[in-house]
Amino acid sequence: MRGFVVHLVAAARPNLMKVAPLWWALKDQPWCRPRLVHTGQHRDAAMAGAIMAELGLPAPHVALGIAAGTHGETIGRTIEAYDRLLAADPPDLAVVVGDVHASLAAAIAARHRGIPLAHLEAGLRCFDRSMPEETNRLLIDHAADILWTTDAVADANLRREGIDPVRIERVGDVTIDTLEMMRGAIAAHPGPAGLGLVPHRYGVVTLHRPANVDRADTLAPLLAALADIARDLPLVFPVHPRTARRMAETGLALPPGVHGLPPLGYVAFLALVARSAVVITDSGGVQQEASHLGIACVTLRPATERPDTVTRGTNRLADAATLAAAVHAPRPAHPPHHDGQARLRVAAAIRRLAGAVSVPAGRAAVRAPRSAS
Ligand code: UDP
């Protein structure tokens, strides 16, 4: 039997945490043939291969090999390469996750080939149209046939944009599935002890958004604000390759008290986050993970596509001028918002699409990778 062929399209690091739970949920289903399509937007070991291995993902069934370039290069070349694959060997469903340039490219290619297209993590909006990811989210959502959302705010965003509600299904947040599946490995990792840091007496920093790191006149005040905080609280900063490149180009360096590291593996990074006092970030995924772990988060952006992290009180928005006050602000404790079972709902939705007998989401047989128990 051929099985229902599903492309899981991954491009950059944050996509891996979103396709992994789908892979776990689908790989042993007799009715389904999931295929990992890696576009190549992130391709070095630290940003791709090592994390794929940790998360129990297979080597990509198809590697399009399109390295990150300008937005025009990444989007254009990925459309061309994915379109060629779709023409030669069309799947029954293409699943695009997240909001990076190659995700948009894959969505456009699938749309134009008439391949049914699902967007996982649909409906996220920060309403800041200057953020490249916001443009990508909008366009992917409006290209998709099926929109899997994380929460009611995302559903409302899509309805307001005129998307037919029958195409929207709230499945929850798959990145929390990944976090929960990997909790054992995260707890077993030495985390701060391996770096000589005292648990709950340090902060974790990640920065890579173009609006923060691309220009010296925005990056320098942020580094100065981190230097102030680091006088009282040591900071550890796994530096994203984009940020490292910009720092090298602009001659800026990390200040004393801010310990730079290369990008970390998923488990090593979350082992640091889980035992930190605060996370300072401009990442989408890290806001969500810190909030789920009950760790205070400060987001260095004017707006967030995850407003529930702010309304629930775990996350605060800040800039260089307000960072110190936000770091020291008290946070309410709160129960976790997501149940870590989103992949089961996605698998059930795909099974319905495949025309197989409909099963309740909670009864789909799903296994975690060996390392994730
Ligand atoms: N992450 C990681 N290693 C690091 C920093 C982050 O594995 O050194 C993980 C993090 O836990 C989250 C994801 O990478 O799951 C977020 O990726 P990124 O910040 O690059 O993208 P964004 O979420 O902003 O799109």
Atom 14 of ligand 1, residue of closest alpha carbon: 14
Over residues 215-224, mean pLDDT: 96
The Å distance, Cα 305 to ligand 1 centre, comes to 16
The arithmetic mean of pLDDT across residues 337-360, rounded, is 84
The answer to whether residue 372 scores a pLDDT higher than 70 is: no
Q: Which atom of ligand 1 is nearest to the CA of 282?
A: 24
158-197 pLDDT, tens per residue? 999 999 999 999 999 999 999 999 999 999 999 999 899 9
Q: Which residue has the higher pLDDT, 330 or 20?
A: 20
Report CA(319)–ligand 1 centroid distance (Å).
20
Mutation test of ligand 1: which of 131, 212, 286 has the most ligand atoms closer than 8 Å to its C-beta? Answer: 286
In ligand 1, the atom with minimum distance to the C-alpha of 17 is 15
> pLDDT-based confidence at 99, cuts 50/70/90?
very high
Kindly give the distance from the C-alpha atom of residue 9 to the centroid of ligand 1, in angstroms, as a whole number.
17
pLDDT at residue 14 is higher than 60: yes
Ligand 1 atom with minimal separation from the 209 CA: 24
Among candidates 238, 230, 184, which has minimal Cα distance to 206? 238
| pLDDT attached to residue 370 | 41
- Is the pLDDT score of 360 beyond 50? no
How far, in Å, CA of 9 to CA of 343, rounded?
Answer: 15
Which protein residues touch ligand 1 with a CB less than 6 Å away? 13-14, 17, 51, 206, 208, 238, 263-264, 266, 269-270, 283-286, 289
pLDDT > 70? residue 366: no
Ligand 1 pocket: which of 283, 287, 315 to mutate (most atoms <8 Å of CB)? 283
Distance 13 CA to ligand 1 centre (A): 6
What domains does the chain contain, in order, with CATH numbers?
4-172+340-355 (3.40.50.2000), 183-328 (3.40.50.2000)
Residue 312: how many CA atoms within 13 Å on its side-chain side?
Answer: 21
Which residue's alpha carbon is at the smallest distance from atom 19 of ligand 1?
Answer: 283
Q: Does the structure show a pLDDT above 60 at 278?
A: yes
Sequence-ordered alpha helix ranges (H) in 95-252: 101-113, 132-143, 152-160, 174-181, 183-188, 210-213, 216-230, 241-250
Work out the average pLDDT over 77-106.
97
Top pLDDT among 41 and 98 is at 98
Which amino acid residue places its CA nearest to atom 24 of ligand 1? 283
pLDDT of residue 369: 40
3-state class (DSSP) for residue 248? helix
* Cα–Cα distance for residue pair 367/358, rounded to 1 Å: 20
Q: Average pLDDT for residues 308-312, to the nearest whole number?
A: 90
Atom of ligand 1 nearest to the CA of 287: 23
pLDDT tier at 68 (50, 70, 90 boundaries)?
confident
The pTM is what?
0.93
Residue where the block lists tokens 């948009």: 104
Q: How far is the CA of 286 from the centre of ligand 1 (A)?
A: 6
Atom of ligand 1 nearest to the CA of 283: 24
Give the position of tokens 């990778």.
Answer: 369
Residue 312 pLDDT: 87
Distance CA 298, CA 317 (A): 6
Q: Would the pLDDT of 225 be above 50?
A: yes
Mean pLDDT of 210-218: 95
Smallest CA-to-CA distance from 327 within 204, 196, 217 is with 204
> What's the pLDDT at 1?
55
293 CA distance to ligand 1 middle (Å): 15
Split at pLDDT 50, 70, 90, the class of 319 is: very high
Q: Is the pLDDT of residue 250 over 50?
A: yes
Per-residue confidence (pLDDT) for residue 358, from 0 to 100? 43
Question: pLDDT value at position 139?
Answer: 98
**Positions marked catalytic:** 208
Smallest CA separation from ligand 1 atom 7, residue? 266
The answer to whether 31 and 59 are in contact (CB under 8 A) is: no
Q: What is the mean pLDDT of residues 17-30?
A: 97
Dihedrals phi, psi of 149, to nearest 5 degrees: -110, 165
Place 356 in a pLDDT band, splitting at 50, 70 and 90: low
Whether residue 365 is predicted with pLDDT greater than 50 in this model: the reply is: no
Q: Please compute the mean of the pLDDT values over residues 125-150 and round it to a whole number.
A: 97
